[in-house]
């Protein structure tokens, strides 16, 4: 099936879009290796390139032409088999392992314009005001929109040493806005928050599966066990995946000896099963796993293992549907290929990968259009792909993990005022504004109770409304603020609270009381009957 023109780019920028649940078996390509079948077919490409180099009428970039030929060939395969030039390969291999110096975003290029996919919490771009959906039109004075700018060129333009400045100009719903961003080191931590919700229930937010995930998770869960945790809310929403072995290690913590975690199988790969060894320290902890349309790859492997073994309850919305095993093949020039060699299957036999149809790249948008995000009844379920859990519960394949408890997106509090603030990143810039003026006091505050008390003395609500009107010219119409403040103020409190000693955890603590998925998980404590 031909791949749609939908390329995921990681701009060093501090995070990898981790839909590469990669089997970490890397090899260097041997030029002398023979291919099966008609050898003349394989010689054809090489002969054409040789003839072009020797006889073409004009000077050409042979390296670029060769890369383009490889990209075109891989485009005939699945959407995730990709060629990575040296710069991108280096970045993809290091971003899940350590610190970087960059601006802290991920973006994709569906056509000829880079679109911001995510902004690293607390990173340089978030502080400056960039938001998801921004279209990058210029980097400093270099126009990159509509120019078919090479991917590695975009990366080079945006990266740079800590303390250096770059101006990123974006198109946000028709409005062109420049943002001056001070580059910084981007820490690659995978756990955003870990704390007790109540006397018995812990909460862990995992953003990605990095090389340090198991270590960080073990430390966090041990801390929570010491505080009395018998139930865990494990938040994998918007977790796009990462290292496969880390997903295995985490699932092993919850499963009994011999329980299937996942298996992989391909045309040229014999079935390989991965089972728990029974030595996990969380086998008696009730678990509810939170997922959504942004949960992919390793997140889906973990959720599928928990669901199919009837070990816990899956809460949220249908996951992304990325379940391909990709083998890294590295070349001596520093470039490489990520080649799909097998598919992941949950213990019941479900294939995690969704079909590669012509609308693959726009599947998420179609979910919104179909109503799936607001109603479980609108979900397209392949009833022919019927499987059964250990206890005989029905589960369905066809792509992604379907939750046991569906939680719709709440759009009731989304007013014109809220959308206007979102368009101009007013809340994020306001948080930075408060920090700049009250950083000394914020630095002294170490829990949410202290933050709440301090915000009341500041009059944070009225401060925000004044800022929105004065700086961005945005005022709520009659009744709009009363409707939206229930949704916006916890966000604002959390965004400002990030600048205190509470750190990233502040956002989750403030937002949790209005989080419908958390409420649903608390009402479904992870026991499957």
Which residue among 134, 292, 308, 515 is the active-site one?
308
pLDDT at 208 over 80: yes
- Span 191-409: which CATH code? 3.90.226.10
pLDDT at 15 over 50: no
The domain ranges of the chain are 93-186, 191-409, 416-516
Which residue among 322, 354, 424, 485 is the active-site one?
322
Confidence category of residue 99, pLDDT binned at 50, 70, 90? low
pLDDT at 331 over 60: yes
Residues 6+ apart with CB under 8 A from 3: 74, 75, 76, 77, 78, 79, 356, 360
Residue 22 is given by DSSP the state B
pTM (2 d.p.): 0.77
Alpha-carbon distance of 42 to 155, in angstroms, equals 32
pLDDT at 20 over 60: no
Alpha-carbon distance of 310 to 527, in angstroms, equals 8
Decide if 484 is catalytic: no
pLDDT at 30 over 50: no
Which residue among 207, 288, 297, 484 is the active-site one?
297
Decide if 462 is catalytic: no
State the CATH class of domain 93-186: mainly beta
Q: Chain-wide mean pLDDT for the chain?
A: 86
pLDDT at 357 over 80: no
Residues 6+ apart with CB under 8 A from 56: none
> Which tokens sit at 344?
């992941």
> Which tokens sit at 235?
């938040």
Burial class (CB in 10 A: 0-12, 13-18, 19+), 464: buried
Decide if 44 is catalytic: no
Per-residue pLDDT reduced to its tens digit, 266-301: 999 999 999 999 999 999 999 999 999 999 999 999
């Amino acid at each position: 099936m031909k791949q749609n023109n939908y390329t995921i780019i990681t701009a060093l920028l501090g995070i990898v879009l981790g839909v590469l649940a990669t089997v970490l078996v890397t090899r260097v390509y041997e030029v002398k290796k023979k291919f099966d079948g008609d050898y003349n077919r394989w010689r054809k490409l090489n002969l054409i390139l040789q003839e072009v180099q020797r006889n073409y009428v004009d000077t050409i970039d042979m390296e670029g032409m060769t890369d383009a030929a490889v990209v075109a060939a891989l485009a005939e395969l699945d959407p995730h088999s990709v060629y990575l030039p040296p710069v991108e390969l280096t970045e993809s291999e290091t971003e899940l392992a350590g610190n970087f110096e960059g601006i802290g975003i991920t973006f994709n290029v569906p056509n000829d314009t880079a679109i911001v996919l995510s902004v690293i919490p607390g990173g340089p771009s978030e502080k400056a005001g960039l938001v998801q959906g921004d279209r990058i039109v210029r980097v400093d004075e270099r126009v990159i929109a509509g120019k078919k700018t090479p991917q590695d060129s975009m990366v080079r333009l945006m990266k740079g040493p800590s303390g250096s400045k770059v101006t990123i100009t974006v198109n946000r719903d028709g409005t062109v806005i420049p943002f001056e961003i001070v580059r910084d080191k981007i820490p690659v931590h995978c756990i955003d928050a870990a704390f007790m919700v109540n006397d018995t229930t812990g909460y862990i937010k995992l953003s990605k599966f990095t090389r340090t995930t198991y270590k960080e998770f073990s430390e966090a869960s041990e801390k929570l066990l010491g505080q009395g945790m018998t139930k865990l809310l494990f938040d994998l929403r918007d977790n796009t995946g990462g290292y496969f072995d880390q997903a295995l290690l985490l699932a092993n913590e919850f499963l009994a000896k011999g329980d299937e975690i996942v298996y992989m199988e391909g045309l040229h790969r014999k079935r390989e099963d991965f089972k728990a060894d029974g030595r996990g320290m969380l086998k008696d902890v009730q678990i509810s796993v939170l997922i959504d349309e942004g949960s992919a790859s390793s997140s889906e492997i973990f959720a599928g293992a928990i669901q199919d073994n009837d070990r816990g309850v899956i809460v949220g919305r249908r996951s992304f549907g990325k379940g391909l095993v990709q083998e890294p093949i590295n070349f001596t020039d520093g470039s490489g290929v990520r080649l799909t060699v097998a598919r992941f299957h949950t213990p019941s036999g479900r294939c995690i990968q969704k079909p590669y149809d012509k609308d693959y790249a726009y599947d998420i948008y179609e979910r919104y259009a179909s109503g799936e995000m607001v109603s479980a009844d609108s979900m397209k379920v392949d009833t022919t792909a019927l499987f059964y859990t250990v206890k005989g519960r029905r589960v369905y394949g066809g792509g992604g993990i379907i939750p046991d408890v569906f939680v719709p997106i709440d759009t009731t509090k989304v007013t014109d005022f809220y959308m206007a603030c979102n368009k101009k990143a007013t809340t994020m810039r306001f948080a930075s504004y408060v920090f700049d003026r009250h950083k000394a006091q914020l630095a002294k505050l170490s829990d949410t109770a202290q933050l709440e008390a301090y915000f009341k003395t500041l009059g944070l609500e009225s401060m925000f409304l004044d800022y929105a009107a004065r700086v961005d010219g945005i005022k709520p119409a009659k009744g709009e603020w009363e409707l939206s403040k229930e949704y916006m103020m916890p966000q604002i409190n959390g965004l400002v609270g990030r600048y205190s000693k509470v750190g990233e955890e502040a956002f989750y603590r403030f937002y949790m009381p209005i989080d419908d998925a958390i409420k649903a998980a608390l009402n479904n404590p992870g026991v499957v009957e």
